[in-house]
Amino acid sequence: MNDCFALRGNLIWSRAPRELAFVPNGYAVCEKGLCVGVFATLPEKYAGIRVEDCGDGLILPGLCDLHLHAPQYPNVGLGYDLELLEWLDKLAFREEARYADLAYAERAYDLFARDLLHSATTRACVFATTHTDATLLLMQKLEKTGLLTYVGRVNMDRNGPERLIEKSAAYAHNETETWIRRSLGEFTLTRPILTPRFAPSCTDALLDALGTLRRRYRLSVQSHLSETRAEVAWVRELFPAQPDYASVYDAFGLFGGETPTVMAHCIYLTEKEKEQIAQRGVFIAHCPASNANISSGIAPVREFLDRGLRVGLGSDVSGGHTLNLLREAALAVSVSKLLWRLQDGVRGPVTVDEALFLATRGGGAFFGKVGAFEPGYAFDAVVFDDVRLETARPLALRERLEKLLYLSDEREVRRKYVEGRRVL
Amino acid sequence: MNDCFALRGNLIWSRAPRELAFVPNGYAVCEKGLCVGVFATLPEKYAGIRVEDCGDGLILPGLCDLHLHAPQYPNVGLGYDLELLEWLDKLAFREEARYADLAYAERAYDLFARDLLHSATTRACVFATTHTDATLLLMQKLEKTGLLTYVGRVNMDRNGPERLIEKSAAYAHNETETWIRRSLGEFTLTRPILTPRFAPSCTDALLDALGTLRRRYRLSVQSHLSETRAEVAWVRELFPAQPDYASVYDAFGLFGGETPTVMAHCIYLTEKEKEQIAQRGVFIAHCPASNANISSGIAPVREFLDRGLRVGLGSDVSGGHTLNLLREAALAVSVSKLLWRLQDGVRGPVTVDEALFLATRGGGAFFGKVGAFEPGYAFDAVVFDDVRLETARPLALRERLEKLLYLSDEREVRRKYVEGRRVL
């Protein structure tokens, strides 16, 4: 029973989008990296295992960040008076170009990996840049954190600055394949994921090459979909043969199916695209901070949940300004209320319970059985000490959870476990 | 020149809503509590005065919080799945009733005063409760912080829980007058402000009594206006003699004029109410966090600014979840973008520059010449050390300011001055 232990504390997780489980002073038992269950008292069978006592702390499943751009981390908080396409030019691309310099990448990715480790996030889908070496450097640094991540060397062969775009689809294919092989060989926790930046950055030839690589290596895919109206109109111009934005990815075998695909934003989907997403089992990364910061809009997450689509949260650094996914969850609630109030009027907002679901189990499903303290789920856990948030009166466990969403930051994150390994 | 000194550091303030001043490594000179100017090098005339060197820190005018409820501070982050009227019943009123117990008030107001002192706020308009003793206790605690505040004993004589509402308008009149006299006698930094909770909580007789007290003591007024559609409809029912919500306050002499009035929210104003606000010089406290949290909507601040109305920011704790007024400023920018994107389509969003204006000079005008480093303005200043927000590359002063809005919290607040007195 050496690889068996229990965390003792106040356990909270989502059983379903609208159903939170609270087990005060309970035991979450881990065996070989998997959760075997949560118990009010430790069963006889586990007598004698190591118990890590988290005192009065709150224990949640590790949070899953489905969308973020590591190289843009220096830009968090900057340039939000611009909109997406101008912001890409003036902020994102300019910053990403710096990663041709490995010394810069070293400094920047050190800070990024440090802060991701200290956040409540245990798993993430991460965009790098078009630079193979800098992407591998980022992967090395993430591997060391012990977090579980997908990292994508970005592909783009048009509509970007000279310094960033790949010379040709053939070059991109070769370079990407080299990177895939190296990363599959070098890393165990840090997996490659195919990453066409977004349709407007890619020629048909590039998308076709990525479809081939996907099939060859059975890789997951991450990209952007329908973030702004201007972008949607642009995609229509660039791909006149395709009926809509989603179909661009789908036409090249980059839209769900055998391996998971995650698409960030999904604000201005057509009815047909929503059906396509449902059919293909594509994950939506909802990024409320980013969507507000660069004036994109509000994704109809209430509707996504009602339709049973697969949705999680993305910090979308640096369109989003924080790696704090609990704050992102609170913001998902807030913007859903504004959408309800300003436009929808009918469906109603997303609740706190649902937002926690999105941040854990909803996004966790992209990684497998992840995001809950239930038998067979990966044992990913975050322990919070919320004493800084104390008030004049004692708080119920549910109240403490609500405060955690709205008020906590990395100061509350005290321990983290990924597949049973303590990483913080 | 004993009461003369200078702060040296990177000075930033609003000259106008769309014009920020940046003076790197400058000197802001204070004489007798007033700013006498900002200088790139210290003028001959001031040679020999004490210089407080803030190193590479950022120095901003102290922030002015135009609207918050001190007794609700324990509730920050709680109950936001409810809307205003239900939230009032289940969260706000229930918490406020606890302040009949002075021991509870002691504990709760200690935490509130501590956190307000450590925030970037130097001045605030604060609601207390209907309890005279607890209100005076709050005022004592605020007086000790050195911050400059208006505090209001809340008036309400209907439509609230038995434990909170005042027995009669006559009782309210007497009790309020007693409180006014005591606070005018006991405090110098902490001033009484008339505080009808909001129109639905007040009978005509109570509003009439408050109008009388206002004239007698020349007091300022704070209340709520047009926060939700349901509330606006309710006011119409309750005050059939008045053409609109604003006119209810106006009819009783509680809407601008000789002494300042501040009204929180102002989301669903009619054109006539906007004109009335302009005419009477009423201040609007924009509370974007609160308005999102409890699903109220988004106030058209872009329009308010374009019309030249007097607008500042309010944290509206605990409808709002944070005392951090810089975060509130960032949120003012974000929600203005969502309003623009979802509904307006024309006017465009509020910028970072304007949001900083709202948090300083805009709200500062409620207190007099406050919120700028210009001759004759009160010397209120906050010094930030933003080293925690460092990135892989050096940042321009404007970039550091943007990061401060989106990312800083009380950890960055290192010193505070109010009218030249150091309070932190």
ipTM: 0.97
Q: Does B406 contact A351 at a Cβ distance shorter than 8 Å?
A: no
Q: What is the pLDDT of residue B1?
A: 53
User: Using CB atoms, which residue from A78, A292, A333 is nearest to B334?
Assistant: A292
Residue A11's beta-bridge partner residues?
A: A23, A59
Q: Does B409 contact A409 at a Cβ distance shorter than 8 Å?
A: yes
- 3-class secondary-structure state, position B2: coil
How far does the CA of residue A88 sit from the closest CA of chain B (Å)?
17
Residue B341 contacts A where some CB pair is shorter than 8 Å: yes
Per-residue pLDDT of chain B (424 residues; tens, 9 = 90+): 568 999 999 999 999 999 999 999 999 999 999 999 999 999 999 999 999 999 999 999 999 999 999 999 999 999 999 988 899 999 999 999 999 999 999 999 999 999 999 999 999 999 999 999 999 999 999 999 999 999 999 999 999 999 999 999 999 999 999 999 999 999 999 999 999 999 999 999 999 999 999 999 999 999 999 999 999 999 999 999 999 999 999 999 999 988 999 999 999 999 999 999 999 999 999 999 999 999 999 999 999 999 999 999 999 999 999 999 999 999 999 999 999 999 877 889 999 999 999 999 999 999 999 999 999 999 999 999 999 999 999 999 999 999 999 999 999 999 999 999 999 9
CB distance A330 to A351 below 8 Å? no
Average pLDDT for A87-106:
96
How far does the CA of residue A73 sit from the closest CA of chain B (Å)?
8
Q: Does A342 contact B338 at a Cβ distance shorter than 8 Å?
A: yes
Q: Is the pLDDT of residue A1 over 60?
A: no
pLDDT class of A243 with cuts at 50, 70, 90: very high
Q: Is the pLDDT of residue A18 over 90?
A: yes
Nearest CA in chain A to B106: A392
Confidence (pTM): 0.97
Nearest CA in chain A to B99: A392
Q: Which residues contact A321 (CB under 8 A, 6 or more apart)?
A: A76, A77, A80, A289, A293, B330, B406, B407
Segment 68-107 of chain B within 8 Å of chain A by CB: 73-81, 98, 104, 107
What residues of chain B lie within 8 A of the CB of A347, using their CB?
none
Q: What is the pLDDT of residue A2?
A: 60
What residues of chain A lie within 8 A of the CB of B334, using their CB?
80, 292-293
Q: Which residues contact B237 (CB under 8 A, 6 or more apart)?
A: none
pLDDT digits (tens, 9 = 90+) for B366-386: 999 999 999 999 999 999 999
Q: How many CA atoms lie within 13 A of B251 on its CB side?
A: 17
What residues of chain B lie within 8 A of the CB of A294, using their CB?
337
Q: What is the pLDDT of residue A3?
A: 85
**How does DSSP classify residue B367?**
G
User: Using CB atoms, which residue from B111, B330, B351 is nearest to A392?
Assistant: B111
Residue A59's beta-bridge partner residues?
A: A11, A383
The closest of A318, A342, A227 to B340, measured between CA atoms, is A342
B257 phi, psi to nearest 5 deg: 100, -130
User: Using CB atoms, which residue from B77, B402, B409 is nearest to A403?
Assistant: B77
What residues of chain B lie within 8 A of the CB of A334, using their CB?
80, 292-293
Segment 259-318 of chain B within 8 Å of chain A by CB: 292-298
Q: Does A402 contact B78 at a Cβ distance shorter than 8 Å?
A: yes
What residues of chain B lie within 8 A of the CB of A407, using their CB?
76-77, 321-322
Q: Is the pLDDT of residue A387 over 70?
A: yes
How far does the CA of residue B117 sit from the closest CA of chain A (Å)?
16
Q: How far apart, in whole angstroms, are the C-alpha atoms of residue A218 and residue B142?
A: 63
Q: Does A351 contact B293 at a Cβ distance shorter than 8 Å?
A: no
Segment 342-401 of chain A within 8 Å of chain B by CB: 342-343, 349, 351-352, 389-393, 399
Q: What is the pLDDT of residue B345?
A: 78
Segment 17-56 of chain A within 8 Å of chain B by CB: none
Residue B406 contacts A where some CB pair is shorter than 8 Å: yes
- CB atoms under 10 Å from CB of B33, counted, come to 14
User: Using CB atoms, which residue from B75, B298, B403 is nearest to A338?
Assistant: B298
Interface A-B: count of C-beta contacts within 8 A = 134
Best residue of B406, B408, B410, B412 to probe chain A, by most A CBs closer than 10 Å: B406
Mean pLDDT across chain A: 97
pLDDT digits (tens, 9 = 90+) for A166-196: 999 999 999 999 999 999 999 999 999 999 9
Best residue of B327, B391, B401 to probe chain A, by most A CBs closer than 10 Å: B391
Q: How far apart, in whole angstroms, are the C-alpha atoms of residue A198 and residue A361?
A: 26
Helix (H) or strand (E) holding B422: strand B421-422
- What's the CA angle centered on B369, arms B416 and B397, to 5 degrees? 50
User: Using CB atoms, which residue from A77, A297, A352 is nearest to B406?
Assistant: A77
Nearest CA in chain A to B391: A74
The percentage of residues in chain A with a pLDDT greater than 90, rounded to a whole number, is 97
Average pLDDT for A371-384:
98
Q: Does A406 contact B333 at a Cβ distance shorter than 8 Å?
A: no
Q: Does B409 contact A407 at a Cβ distance shorter than 8 Å?
A: no
What residues of chain A lie within 8 A of the CB of B335, using their CB?
292, 338
Q: How many CA atoms lie within 13 A of A298 on its CB side?
A: 30
